[in-house]
Amino acid sequence: MGIWDPIAMTKTFHYAVLAGAAALLPLAAQAQTPQGPYVALQGGVNFNIERELDVGAVSRDVETNLGYAVGGAAGYSFGGPRVELEATWRSNGIDKIGTYANDGSIDSVALMVNALYDIPTGTAFYPYVGAGLGWVIGKMDAGQIKDDLSGAFGFQGIAGVGYNVTQNVGVTLDYRFLGTTGMEFENPAAGDASYENYLNHTVMLGLRYAFGAPAKPMAAAPAPAAPVQPVAAKAVVQVPESYLVFFDFNSVAITPEAAGIVNSAAKAAKSKGTSTIEVTGHADRSGTPVYNERLSMRRAEAVMAELERNGIPRSSVAVYAKGESDPLVQTPDGVREPQNRRVVILLK
């Protein structure tokens, strides 16, 4: 062997990538996500599809047992579309090669670039689909093939469902079909062994953390102020002759802080002898326009009911719903924005 051995250098490169990927998996990450960066981790089961292994003129099917997959990714969400870099390790024990029992294994690390789309539903649940391309490094230990490595072009399809537990944390469950072009492994006893396309069905449960989620709004006491500025406020900010009541994502619940603001609005209306009160509901753009129209009306009705509990007759209140058509903060479609989830109480 000369000083320069391209085959040996290729194998050294593959071992280096495998070692690096294994070290990064615990730190990597692989969530409808808020706009911005995210990371995630996934783990589950892997079913490797039976393929042929050709050694010289002999072809035998490689049958594997149910295996496992663990992986992670880091990505960026644009409020619907998102892209990510993924590293996933798959491992399956070999049951038989042809008619011969075998206790070896076939493993791989897939380094993929994925493009996905989170489909907004107006709820905490959302389906997503995607596809990826990349490089897959396979490792086979079977008979005369001793932990040899081979790289191949990889491709995958992705379909899953996610659930946002909080603004930042979500869980996912997805199915992935991963395939590659053929692989070549070294068999010292009979020359190179050709392995057909490496194909896998993978189901994984994941945990995703989004850095782009807006902070939880905090309650603010009512006080006269200039026109309201976008702030991370949970319940309310008062402006001259008007009061703002903010809501949590996909919620119509009146918080204790918000109830205090409605009470203040009712007292002000009584003391000023206000003849007309307008209550207008709004929603952010994370759901469909039709859904958001209904959601904004439900929020307005919730505030109306609270006003009635504070002695304001319904006959003196006009209730409106504007859905997502009049945002306080302009955002792209599908993006959550706490400042847009509000009801405006206007005293006339």
Domain with CATH 2.40.160.20 in the chain: 6-210
Higher pLDDT, 29 or 131: 131
Contact, 119 vs 126, CB < 8 A?
A: yes
> Hunting for tokens 């900010």 — which residue is that?
237
**The CATH number fitting domain 6-210, selected from 2.40.160.20, 2.60.40.1180, 3.30.70.360, 3.40.50.300:** 2.40.160.20
Query: In this structure, which topology does domain 236-347 adopt according to CATH?
Result: 60s Ribosomal Protein L30; Chain: A; (3.30.1330)
Cβ-based neighbour number of residue 307 at 10 Å: 22
Contact 345, 243 (CB under 8 A): yes
Beta strands in 196-334 (DSSP E): 199-210, 236-239, 242-246, 277-281, 317-321
Burial class (CB in 10 A: 0-12, 13-18, 19+), 63: middle
Domain with CATH 3.30.1330.60 in the chain: 236-347
pLDDT one-digit tens code per residue, 270-293: 888 776 889 999 999 888 888 889
pLDDT band at 88 (very low <50, low <70, confident <90, very high): very high
pTM of the entire structure? Answer: 0.54
Query: What is the rounded distance in angstroms from the CA atom of residue 134 to the CA atom of residue 176?
Result: 14
89-124 per-position pLDDT tens digit: 999 988 877 767 777 888 999 999 999 999 988 788
User: Using CA atoms, how far apart are residues 301 and 311, in angstroms rounded to an integer?
Assistant: 15
How many other C-beta atoms can be found within 10 angstroms of the C-beta atom of residue 11?
16
User: What is the per-residue pLDDT for 135?
Assistant: 96
Give the tens place of pLDDT for each residue, 57-80.
Answer: 677 778 889 999 999 999 999 988
| Nearest residue to 246 (alpha-carbon basis) of 231, 265, 266, 263 | 231
At 109, list the tokens.
Answer: 């690390």
